[in-house]
Amino acid sequence: MLIIETHGLSKSFSKRGKKVEAVRGVDLSVEAGQIFGFLGPNGAGKTTTLRMLTTLLHPSGGNATIAGYDLIQAPKKVRDKIGYVSQTGGADPASTARENLVLQARLYGSNKASAMGRAAELLQSLELEAFADRRTSTYSGGQRRRLDLAMGMVHRPPVLFLDEPTSGLDPQSRARLWEEVRKLQQNGTTIFLTTHYLEEADALCDRLAIIDEGKIVTEGTPTELKRQVAGDVVTLGLEATNGALQRGEDLLRSQAFVREVNLDKNDLRLYVERGEEALPQILRLLDGAGLVIQTIALSRPTLDDVFLRQTGRSLRETAA
């Protein structure tokens, strides 16, 4: 079942008289129960898309259905069904975690008793109890982010939107938050998150869409994306005797399963469809031709390779 579906969703702003198209026609489909990642550099249109999907920003064009409700026609119904954790979070620094959670639950319609109960439950499960009655301005980054997450899930929404959930967190806090996100998924929540961390997209997401300059450039599972675009990389070291490298290169280039061969100093770099199937074939071929293999390495492409191929830029560079 599709729980989020968008068609031609777009947003343009006018900035000092100039029209800026932040999002240009985004089509997305998210299956219920998935963790869907929205990957792209800063300024690519991730947050703008998310803010449209969470009813905070009115789209300039296109439409979307979320949890069965039309985003444009029934934003109030959509609000009941979604939770949102913004990039900076939205807990009031002058109030305690418990006060923040109780108010948030009550704004979603809970009565006082059940709001108190739900807050206590979340404080416990996210290990915030010890400082639940302290003002949130005193929290560490990780504590703060767990509270933000709790704020988004206080009404048990079927869909949770997370904008850069682990941005700026230390590795432990990040791993901790990933755990929470996975736990939510196990309880049936669909999670739509944006990130510019490749590791995060890779580790957490069932499906990914890469957005650049307001457009989706590619979409699929992390494995599909990596395979579709870059293939696998095999690096071969051959014993360099009278033209062995050249012979090896020619031999491999003629094979259908090899997309591309580059001579890199004394190594051959092969781009192949499926590395695990290509390795035995390469071994057999070179052996048969009497070429001696000294080293062989298979590496997987990273999402950065995917991004590089699709946009011509490295995500690591643009994210910095």
Alpha carbons 164 and 228: distance in angstroms, whole number: 26
Size of the residue set binding another protein (CB under 8 A): 29
Single out the residue of 56, 7, 11 nearest to residue 163, CA to CA. 56
| Cβ-based nearer residue to another protein, 61 or 90 | 90
Among residue numbers 41 through 100, which ones bind another protein (CB under 8 A)?
51, 54-58, 76, 79-80, 82-84, 86, 88-95, 99
To which residue do tokens 């957490």 refer? 204
Both tokens of 316, joined, read 């690591």
Q: Look at residue 309 and give its three-state secondary structure.
A: helix
User: Closer to another protein at the Cβ: 18 or 265?
Assistant: 18
The nearer residue to another protein, 115 or 282, going by C-beta atoms, is 115
β-strand 159-163 against 207-212: which pairing, if any?
A: unpaired
As given in the structure block, the two tokens for residue 136 are 């949130």
List, in sequence order, the alpha helices (H) in the chain: 46-53, 75-81, 97-107, 112-125, 141-152, 171-186, 198-204, 222-230, 244-253, 275-288, 303-311, 315-319
Residue 147: name the closest of 132, 168, 161 by CA: 132
Please pick, from the candidates 32, 72, 103, 244, the single residue that binds another protein as defined by CB under 8 A: 103
Q: Reduced to 3 states, what is the DSSP secondary structure of residue 179?
A: helix
Q: Is the CB of 148 or the CB of 249 nearer to another protein?
A: 148
- Please give the Cα distance from 166 to 289 (Å, whole number): 51
Give the span between the Cα atoms of 243 and 173, in whole angstroms.
53
Residues 145-174 contacting another protein, CB under 8 A: 151
Q: At its nearest, how many Å lie between another protein and the CB of residue 109?
A: 7
Q: Give Cβ neighbours of residue 84 (< 8 Å, ≥ 6 apart).
A: 50, 54, 56, 152, 160, 161, 163
Minimum Å distance from CB 53 to another protein?
11
For residues 58 and 284, which CB has a smaller minimum distance to another protein in the complex?
58
6 to 45: interface string for another protein, x by CB under 8 A = ----------------------------------------
Separation between Cα atoms, residue 132 and residue 136, nearest integer Å: 8
Nearer to another protein, 167 or 310 (CB): 167
Task: Please state the closest distance from residue 301 (CB atom) to another protein, in A.
Answer: 36
| Contacts (Cβ under 8 Å, ≥6 apart) of 89 | 144, 145, 147, 148, 151
The distance of closest approach from Cβ of residue 103 to another protein in the complex, given in angstroms and rounded to an integer, is 6
Cβ proximity to another protein: between 122 and 236 the closer is 122
Give the residue, chosen from 20, 107, 263, 283, that forms a contact with another protein under the rule CB under 8 A: 107
CB of 57 to another protein, least distance (A): 6
Q: Can you tell me which of 7, 106, 176, 309 binds another protein, judged by CB under 8 A? A: 106
Q: Which is nearer to another protein, 90 or 243 (CB)?
A: 90
Closest distance to another protein from the beta carbon of 148 (Å):
9
- Which residue, 47 or 218, is less far from another protein as judged by CB? 47
Q: Which of 12, 25, 108, 199 forms a contact with another protein (CB under 8 A)?
A: 108
Site of interaction with another protein (CB under 8 A): 51, 54-58, 76, 79-80, 82-84, 86, 88-95, 99, 103-104, 106-109, 151
